[in-house]
């Protein structure tokens, strides 16, 4: 057998597997991919603009806070040391100022929030502004911290341990805490000024985040709604096309039901197409019926004058002339019988059913073996949906050809890619490559065929191909590498 059957096709590439075969799948994929790409590009542009705007706002807000902090540092530095705590106590009782202020004897370590580009930019802007406003002061220690982790004094007192009156008008502790800017600077040796404040927009880190969950949820919801509407529209558009495709396939396989006309729904273009298809189907059906009636009538009517001519030829006295007449009449009678057989075999009216190939081919093989032929076949358990009698005649024609011209035949059945392949190989001399295409033509017989089967008419292969194509399949012929003709029928599984 061939190492690679002629119906074999290479595995589809990854791109071919990804690209749907149906119009619905292709339109859906294109629209979904286009929407996703548009959404991603728009989101990227919007996020870039949002980040740029947030950067400008943070820079301005940081400078505003830094100017206030530098003024506070200058004010406390100008006070005598023994007045500072008294003033701080008075500010706390009054409800505080913009800053929560405390004095310590050393720097208090701060547990900073997770570093972000926006927070780092704010700290850099505050540091630059403080250095510009207080050029002769030592560098300040800056950090953003969460309220529940913030220590405000050297003895470990946390912000949450302080009375609410001290901080409730200055910092946001609940219900949604905001990051706190902490500024620590040394006023004089051994005295550290501790200031904590909120940014003008306390939630600047989250409000300017393009990937915040609420924004992503809103974008995702809007995208899902648009995609759903697009899929519904695509399905609404392609559903009539699917009906048209099914009607065309059924008509091509002889399964057309006139009681179920193609529905004229959908767009104006499809309605016009449906009407044109229905009219074409009726014209073709009438043509086929008229052709069959005409063909059968002519073939039938020709047999009567042929019979009369045969009887009259018997009255001829010249034996040589009588023999020539009889030979011509026999050839004409054979052509008429062949025409009738062609119409009968290629137009079998029966309903499609599930055909178990082992049972059908087994009967053909047993009949051939009883006639003294050698046929090899192994059961496969495969089946196809087809017209049983028509399929049997098509395979029978191929097997008869194989046994006439090859003496020995092999039948094999395989399944791949949703198709069932029935291969019939003979062990004869094969066929010239340039003559393969003409084997399906009626009354075409090669010299080897005429020698092996002088009673044939050259209609078997054409009938077989017509039957297989009516089932939506293919019949292909080739020469086997090890000799003989190789015929392959491919049918939908």
Query: What pLDDT score does 5 carry?
Result: 44
Strands 408-416 and 374-376: parallel
Q: Which residue has the higher pLDDT, 400 or 167?
A: 400
Measured CA to CA, the distance from residue 408 to residue 454 in angstroms comes to 19
CB atoms within 10 A of CB 369: 11
Find the farthest-apart pair of alpha carbons in the chain and give their distance in angstroms, rounded. 158
Query: What pLDDT score does 128 carry?
Result: 92
Provide the sign of the torsion angle of the four alpha carbons 346, 352, 353, 358, taken in this order: positive
Element (H, E) at 410: strand 408-416
If you search the block for the tokens 């690209």, which residue do you land on? Answer: 19
Residues 79-100 pLDDT 10s: 887 788 778 777 776 655 778 8
What are phi and psi for residue 242, nearest 5 degrees?
Answer: -65, -40
Look at residues 482, 471, 361 and name the one whose alpha carbon lies nearest to residue 430. Answer: 482
CB atoms within 10 A of CB 360: 19
Residues 211-247 pLDDT 10s: 667 667 777 788 788 878 877 887 787 777 777 777 7
Residue 181 has pLDDT above 70, yes or no: yes
Residues 477-489 pLDDT 10s: 888 888 788 889 9
Residues 258-308 pLDDT 10s: 445 677 776 777 788 888 888 888 888 787 777 777 766 776 677 777 777
DSSP result, 231-273? HHHHHHHHHHHHHHHHHHHHHHTT---TTSPPP--SSHHHHHH
Out of 65-69, 251-255, 461-465, which region has the weakest mean confidence (pLDDT)?
251-255
- The first and second tokens of residue 350, run together, are 């029966």
Residues 92-147 pLDDT 10s: 766 557 788 888 888 989 888 888 888 888 899 999 998 998 888 888 899 998 88
Domains of the chain: 27-207 (no CATH), 247-347 (1.10.287), 350-492 (3.30.565.10)
Residue 455 has pLDDT above 60, yes or no: no
- The first and second tokens of residue 180, run together, are 């706190």
- Give the contacts of 270 (CB within 8 A, at least 6 positions apart): 240, 241, 244
């Amino acid at each position: 057998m061939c190492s690679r059957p002629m119906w074999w096709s290479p595995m589809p590439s990854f791109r071919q597997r990804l690209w749907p075969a149906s119009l619905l799948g292709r339109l859906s994929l294109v629209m979904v991919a286009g929407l996703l790409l548009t959404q991603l590009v728009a989101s990227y542009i919007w996020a870039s603009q949002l980040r740029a705007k947030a950067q400008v706002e943070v820079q301005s807000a940081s400078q505003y806070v830094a100017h206030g902090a530098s003024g506070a540092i200058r004010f406390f530095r100008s006070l005598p040391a023994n007045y500072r705590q008294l003033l701080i106590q008075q500010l706390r009782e009054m409800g505080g100022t913009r800053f929560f202020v405390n004095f310590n004897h050393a720097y208090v370590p701060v547990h900073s929030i997770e570093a972000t580009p926006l927070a780092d930019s704010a700290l850099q802007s505050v540091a630059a502004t403080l250095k510009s406003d207080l050029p002769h002061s030592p560098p300040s220690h800056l950090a953003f911290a969460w309220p529940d982790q913030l220590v405000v004094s050297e003895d470990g007192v946390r912000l949450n341990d302080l009375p609410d009156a001290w901080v409730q008008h200055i910092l946001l502790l609940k219900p949604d805490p905001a990051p706190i800017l902490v500024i620590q600077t040394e006023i004089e040796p051994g005295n550290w000024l501790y200031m904590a404040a909120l940014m003008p927009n306390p939630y600047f880190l989250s409000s300017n985040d393009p990937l915040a969950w609420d924004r992503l949820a809103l974008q995702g919801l809007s995208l899902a709604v648009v995609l759903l509407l697009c899929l519904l529209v695509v399905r609404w558009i392609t559903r009539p096309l699917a009906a048209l495709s099914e009607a065309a396939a059924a008509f091509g396989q002889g399964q057309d039901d006139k009681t179920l006309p193609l529905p004229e729904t959908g767009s104006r273009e499809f309605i016009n197409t449906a009407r044109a298809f229905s009219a074409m189907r009726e014209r073709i059906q009438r043509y086929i019926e008229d052709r069959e009636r005409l063909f059968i009538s002519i073939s039938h009517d020709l047999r009567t004058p042929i019979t009369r001519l045969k009887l009259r030829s018997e009255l001829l006295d010249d034996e040589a002339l009588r023999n020539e007449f009889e030979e011509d009449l026999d050839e004409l009678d054979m052509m008429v019988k062949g025409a009738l057989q062609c119409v009968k075999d290629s137009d079998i009216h029966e309903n499609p059913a599930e055909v178990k190939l082992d049972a059908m081919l087994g009967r053909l093989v047993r009949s051939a073996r009883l006639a003294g032929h050698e046929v090899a076949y192994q059961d496969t358990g495969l089946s196809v949906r087809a017209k049983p009698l028509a399929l049997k005649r098509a395979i029978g024609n191929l097997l008869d050809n194989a046994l006439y011209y090859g003496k020995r035949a092999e039948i094999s059945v395989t399944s791949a890619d949703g198709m069932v392949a029935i291969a019939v190989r003979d062990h004869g001399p094969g066929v010239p490559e340039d003559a393969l295409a003409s084997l399906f033509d009626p009354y075409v017989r090669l010299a080897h065929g005429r020698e092996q089967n002088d009673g044939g008419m050259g209609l078997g292969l054409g009938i077989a191909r017509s039957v297989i194509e009516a089932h939506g399949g293919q019949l292909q012929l080739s020469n086997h590498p090890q000799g003989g003709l190789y015929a392959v029928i491919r049918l939908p599984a």
